[in-house]
Amino acid sequence: MEYIIEMLNITKEFPGIIANDDITLQLKKGEIHALLGENGAGKSTLMSVLFGMYQPEKGVIKKNGQEVKVSNPNDANELGIGMVHQHFKLVHNFTVLQNIILGVETTRHGILQMSQAREKIVALSEKYGLMVDPEAKIEDITVGMQQRVEILKMLYRENEILIFDEPTAVLTPQEIEELMKIMKGLAAEGKSILFITHKLNEIKEVANRCTVLRKGKYIGTIDVASTSKEDMSEMMVGRKVDLTIQKESQAPGEVVLEARDLTIRSKHNGKNAVSHVSFQVRKGEIVCIAGIDGNGQSELVYGITGLSPLDSGEVLLRGEPMAKTSIRRRNLAGLSHIPEDRHKDGLILDYNLTENLILKNYFKPGFQKKGFINFKKSREYAEKLIQQFDIRSGQGTKTTVRSMSGGNQQKAIIARELDQDPDILIAVQPTRGLDVGAIEYIHRQLVEKRDEGKAILLVSLELDEVMNVSDRILVIYEGEIVADVDPKEITIRELGLYMAGSKRSEVTA
């Protein structure tokens, strides 16, 4: 029997949108099969149908040639299908061990048998190189480690078909390398993997075949080794995509944002997350803070934007001290912020698209009168942004943001922040989880703002993005700026050494 799983002629509809329109996907035993498509192309929906989270209107699922019914995730588990979701499904105040066995606990006379479970987990993590401390609490471990817990959950349940939904969107370059190794190891053991992504170089590295979806329709299945990245991106977006960034060099103007001697203590331990950081961002330049995740970038941005207090130091916006002012005061003074965690800090998920797009304007004249919001004006404003930034959603301005794809949620935040016409834009991983078409669009927006004389502070973990978009790179390591370099004069390898802390330069602010 050639195919372990077949999804034949699947159609899934939501209000106002056909998410999957007659899609067929066939997975061979022991292969890594990539599922490629733009944000909102229907990839996650298709996998959620396979995992039993949604029921299709039409189509059948077969396992080893036999038709099966997957009414819910428990059915999927019975059939040996496991899934690592894009936003992990973990209980934060439970330990790793408790999360892995949740739902499949071994009990004797009503008492949990933890020691056997722990032995099995330790054996699995050694076999697949997934070293995680079973006793650690989820809230205390890195995102990369949390993902390993999700993988161990599948292996513990002895799943043979593993679905990875955008597994690398939240990982550092080093963790991505590890994950690719783990995936190849799993396939070599005979596991069959479905891998949702829009990173073409990852598909090239691990996948055998790749199925492309576009706007809910099936475009084709290709052999990865014999297809170029350019051809894949054209299948995905429906046009040629320029993967290089065009930008002219120009002389920066006066200082817009200045950080002076910032120190911020870590929430988790008594150490400083940021210590004595000073830098400037001028008009007409993109300054990028590069570093491996967890080296103080998040705390630094929280301190500058006002989301958390500084322990010492000063933030100046066009020469004016801001450290003691409110977030709204900073926004009105010309600061915009695309946050790292779009769900926690960027959107109110149960509000609709209009409400999310006016979050920075609702209190301004025209948007309200005597404390009552003018919804007609708000809707018109939202429609303009939806049009301008190509935000795709099932019910337009009325769509609940929670129901939109991750990439379109990101576009909504970017639309809202850029429309403020800020003097300084702080963009934290603005392209995380976006497809090549959307990345190209956002990079173009950043360069355009820079050419208009805006100051941009970019925080990114994607080394290609760091090298291509920035005019100046500041490397952060353990909360300190260890290098201030010109991307034209440094190699990726050298940048990696600074990021790993094995090289430092004398930094002059």
- How confident is residue 509, by pLDDT bands cut at 50, 70 and 90? very low
Assess whether pLDDT exceeds 90 at residue 424.
yes
- Identify the pLDDT of residue 378: 94
**β-strands 81-84, 161-165 pairing:** parallel
- Identify the pLDDT of residue 313: 92
Decide if 423 contacts 455 (C-beta within 8 A): yes
pLDDT digit string (tens) for 468-483? 899 999 999 889 999 9
Q: CA 167 to CA 249: how far, in whole Å? A: 36
pLDDT digit string (tens) for 227-266? 988 888 888 888 877 666 777 777 888 999 999 999 998 8
pLDDT digit string (tens) for 298-338? 899 999 999 989 999 999 999 999 988 999 999 999 999 99
Which candidate, 256, 249, 253, places its Cα nearest to that of 280? 256
Q: CA 49 to CA 385: how far, in whole Å? A: 32
First vs last C-alpha separation in the chain: 65
- Identify the pLDDT of residue 255: 93
Decide if 327 contacts 306 (C-beta within 8 A): yes
Q: What number is the average pLDDT over the span 201-211?
A: 92
Strands (E), 377-497: 424-428, 455-460, 472-477, 480-485
Which candidate, 438, 439, 456, places its Cα nearest to that of 447? 456
Q: Which of 147-151, 368-372, 408-412 has the lowest mean pLDDT?
A: 147-151
Q: What number is the average pLDDT over the span 342-359?
A: 92
Question: For tokens 């699947």, what's the residue?
Answer: 10
Q: Which of 159-173, 338-352, 355-369, 475-489 has the lowest mean pLDDT?
A: 159-173
Q: Which residues contact 340 (CB under 8 A, 6 or more apart)?
A: 297, 298, 301, 428, 429, 432, 459
- Identify the pLDDT of residue 262: 93
If DSSP codes are grouped into helix, strand and coil, which group holds residue 223? strand
Rg of the chain taking only CA atoms, in angstroms: 24
The total number of residues shown for the chain amounts to 509
Assess whether pLDDT exceeds 80 at residue 436.
no
Query: For the chain, which residues make up each domain, given as ranges?
Result: 3-237, 244-334+427-435+455-509, 342-421
Q: What number is the average pLDDT over the span 129-145?
A: 81
Q: What number is the average pLDDT over the span 495-503?
A: 77
Assess whether pLDDT exceeds 80 at residue 433.
no
- Identify the pLDDT of residue 243: 63
Assess whether pLDDT exceeds 80 at residue 278.
yes
- Identify the pLDDT of residue 295: 87
- Identify the pLDDT of residue 381: 94
For residue 12, list its beta bridge partners. 20
If DSSP codes are grouped into helix, strand and coil, which group holds residue 473? strand
- Identify the pLDDT of residue 412: 94
- How confident is residue 503, by pLDDT bands cut at 50, 70 and 90? low
- Identify the pLDDT of residue 301: 94
Superfamily of domain 244-334+427-435+455-509: P-loop containing nucleotide triphosphate hydrolases (3.40.50.300)
Q: What number is the average pLDDT over the span 32-50?
A: 89
Q: What percent of the chain shows pLDDT beyond 70? A: 96
The model's pTM is 0.68
pLDDT digit string (tens) for 437-469? 788 888 988 999 999 999 999 999 877 788 889
Assess whether pLDDT exceeds 90 at residue 210.
yes
Q: What number is the average pLDDT over the span 184-196?
A: 91
Name the residue type at position 255.
Answer: V
Q: What is the mean pLDDT of the chain?
A: 88
Which candidate, 165, 144, 163, places its Cα nearest to that of 37? 165
- How confident is residue 71, by pLDDT bands cut at 50, 70 and 90? very high
- How confident is residue 508, by pLDDT bands cut at 50, 70 and 90? very low
State which fold the 3-237 domain adopts: Rossmann fold (3.40.50)
CA angle in degrees (0–180, nearest 5) for 332-294-330: 5
Inter-residue long-range contacts of 145-150, CB under 8 Å, 24+ positions, other chains counted: 146/88, 146/90, 147/84, 147/88, 147/171, 147/175, 147/179, 149/88, 149/90, 149/96, 149/99, 149/100, 150/84, 150/85, 150/88, 150/89, 150/90
Decide if 446 contacts 427 (C-beta within 8 A): yes
Share in percent of the chain as helix, strand, coil (round to 5) = 35, 30, 35
Same fold for the pair 3-237 and 244-334+427-435+455-509:
yes
